[in-house]
């Protein structure tokens, strides 16, 4: 579980980048001097950064996803405002072993009629994994959850590779048959 603290984005604060190879592939991270994560990018298995200083943070984030007993407290300061920031905060409320629809996130963000705009904001999440946008799926998939989990292409798109969304959900325990009845779909 990841406990998030949202801090304001400040472009005047210097940042540094790190890269690490994880069970999810390459992960690049950009962190401010105060420790707030500005961006996290899932990328190819090679990359570089300004420093290796933040590699432990990358592994902490991935471990909080892959180890159901592990928790992490993380400060984020994503480059987001208005609807984008409201959507990120709404996504952050979706707990592990719950999935949410885009329409549910739109309601939480205070924009119930803006489902498509909200979906675009979900797709532009600058801190995936930390703000768990992989837990947001189309309403049609949620209505047939067991079928969607069996056929990951129904779960919706995910950058950089749609199959990665299913892999992240698998690591969180969504594909275990014994967990299926306990998965909460927030529509």
Catalytically annotated residues: 133
Tokens linked to 124: 């532009």
- The full 3-state SS of the chain, as one line of letters, equals CEEEEECCCCCCCCEEEEEEEECCEEEEEEEECCCCEEEEEEECCCCCCCCCCCHHHHHHHHHHHHCCCCCEEEEECCCCCHHHHHHHHHHCCCCCCEEEEHHHHHHHCCCCCCHHHHHHHHHCCCCCCCCCHHHEECHHHHHCHHHHHHCHHHHCCCCCCHHHHHHHHHHCCCCCHHHHHHCEEEC
Which of 145, 96, 100, 140 lies closest to 122, judged by CA? 100
Number of neighbours of residue 151 by Cβ within 10 angstroms: 12
Residue 53 and residue 55: Cα distance in Å, rounded?
Answer: 6
């Amino acid at each position: 579980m990841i406990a998030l603290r949202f801090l304001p984005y400040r472009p005047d604060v210097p940042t540094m980048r790190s890269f690490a190879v994880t069970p999810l592939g390459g992960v690049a991270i950009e962190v401010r001097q105060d420790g707030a994560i500005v961006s996290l990018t899932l990328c190819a298995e090679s990359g570089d950064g300004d420093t290796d200083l933040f590699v432990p943070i990358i592994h902490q984030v991935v471990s909080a996803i892959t180890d159901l007993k592990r928790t992490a407290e993380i400060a984020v300061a994503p480059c987001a405002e208005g609807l984008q920031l409201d959507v990120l905060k709404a996504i952050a409320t979706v707990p592990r072993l719950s999935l949410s629809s885009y329409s549910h996130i739109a309601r939480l963000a205070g924009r119930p009629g803006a489902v498509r705009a909200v979906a675009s904001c979900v797709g532009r999440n600058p801190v995936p994994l930390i703000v768990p946008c992989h837990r947001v799926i189309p309403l049609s998939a949620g209505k047939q959850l067991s079928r969607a989990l069996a056929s990951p292409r129904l779960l919706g798109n995910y950058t950089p590779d749609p199959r990665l969304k299913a892999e992240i959900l698998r690591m969180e325990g969504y594909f275990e048959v014994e967990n299926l009845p306990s998965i909460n779909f927030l529509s």
